[in-house]
Amino acid sequence: MKIYVEDNYQKLSKKAAYILASQIRLKPDSVLGLATGDTPLGMYRELVAMHQREDLDFREIKTFNLDEYYGLEKENPQSYHYYMMENLFKHVNIRKENIHIPDGEASDIEEACSRYEGLIRQAGGIDLQVLGIGRNGHIGFNEPDVKFEATTHLVHLDADTIQANARFFDSIDKVPTQAISMGIKTIMQAKKIVLLASGHEKREIVQKALEGKILPELPASVLQLHNDVVVILDQKAAGELKEI
């Protein structure tokens, strides 16, 4: 595991974008696993700028998003489909057919999850997976006590996660209580993982995930077992780490 501590969020975003851009340039048909939320936003802005300024080419790239709220329409501004279109996809030259996001409107959840796993396998697996980390240690929407052998599945969101995401909705009652998420097993099968964390409120969970025991109660701790993880933190998120 490599850990980079950057001075601030802007430098964190640039470092993450540089790593993704290097992957794209070295393997133009890379399969990227992408995350949503506040932390990756700066990285996506940097990638869009690289596309516009340096002709970073997304034409052959395939993407698979980590998760999607269950029960939200794609056009809903709080859906992750909408997030990805607004923050990355509509600004680069990626092909529509190469974009994959879990189907939050699926009537048959088991079939939709199985199909998503099949598409990942068909693409040859994920070359580089981007992750954030929740305040309770979740990655994707894999909440504490998740089974490490889980693949893409329906998740019942913890109260902490619902509370953390309430700021994006009109009220906490509007926050979906379920989501479709890649499982821990799927995430761990990625060839390379890039974990991003920013802000003072993440410092304790980052320390536990990277330096503590590997426990299902702290899903991100399983990343200690992966053979190619890059962690990019800002100074605030790194504040509790004992060793860097």
Per-residue pLDDT tens over the stretch 8-29: 999 999 999 999 999 999 999 9
Check if 91 is active-site.
Answer: no
From 51, 81, 100, 138, active-site residue: 138
% of the chain residues with pLDDT over 70: 100
% of the chain residues with pLDDT over 90: 83
Check if 211 is active-site.
Answer: no
User: Over 70: is that where the pLDDT of 105 sits?
Assistant: yes
Beta-bridge partners for 31 = 62
Taking phi first (over 0 means left), then psi (-120 to 50 degrees means alpha), and beta for anything else, what does residue 63 get? beta
Structure tokens at 102: 């879990």
pLDDT of residue 244: 65
pTM confidence score: 0.93
User: Over 80: is that where the pLDDT of 72 sits?
Assistant: yes
Q: How many CB atoms lie within 10 A of CB 243?
A: 6
- What CA–CA distance (Å, rounded) separates 10 from 109? 38
Confidence of residue 228 (pLDDT cuts 50, 70, 90): very high
> Do 100 and 62 meet the contact criterion of CB atoms below 8 Å apart?
yes
Q: Which residue has the higher pLDDT, 228 or 144?
A: 228
From 6, 46, 67, 103, active-site residue: 67
Going from the C-alpha of 72 to that of each of 79, 113, 125, 239, the distances in angstroms are: 6, 16, 27, 36
Check if 138 is active-site.
Answer: yes
Q: How many CB atoms lie within 10 A of CB 129?
A: 28
**How many H helices and E strands in the chain?**
7, 10
pLDDT of residue 148: 82
pLDDT of residue 24: 98
Could you please report the per-residue DSSP string of 58-107? -TT-EEEESEEETT--TTSTTSHHHHHHHHTGGGS---GGGEE---TT-S
- The whole-number average pLDDT for the span 67-95 is 95
pLDDT of residue 231: 98
Per-residue pLDDT tens over the stretch 38-53: 999 999 999 999 999 9
From 136, 158, 160, 240, active-site residue: 136
For domain 2-234, the CATH architecture is 3-Layer(aba) Sandwich (3.40)
Per-residue pLDDT tens over the stretch 179-212: 999 999 999 999 999 999 999 999 999 999 999 9
CA angle 105, 110, 115 (to 5 degrees): 80
pLDDT of residue 168: 77
pLDDT of residue 204: 97
From 46, 68, 103, 143, active-site residue: 143
- The whole-number average pLDDT for the span 103-127 is 96
Q: Which residue has the higher pLDDT, 150 or 45?
A: 45
**Residue spans per domain, the chain:** 2-234
* Residue 133 CB partners (closer than 8 Å, separation 6+): 139, 195, 196, 197, 202, 205, 206, 209, 220
Confidence of residue 96 (pLDDT cuts 50, 70, 90): very high
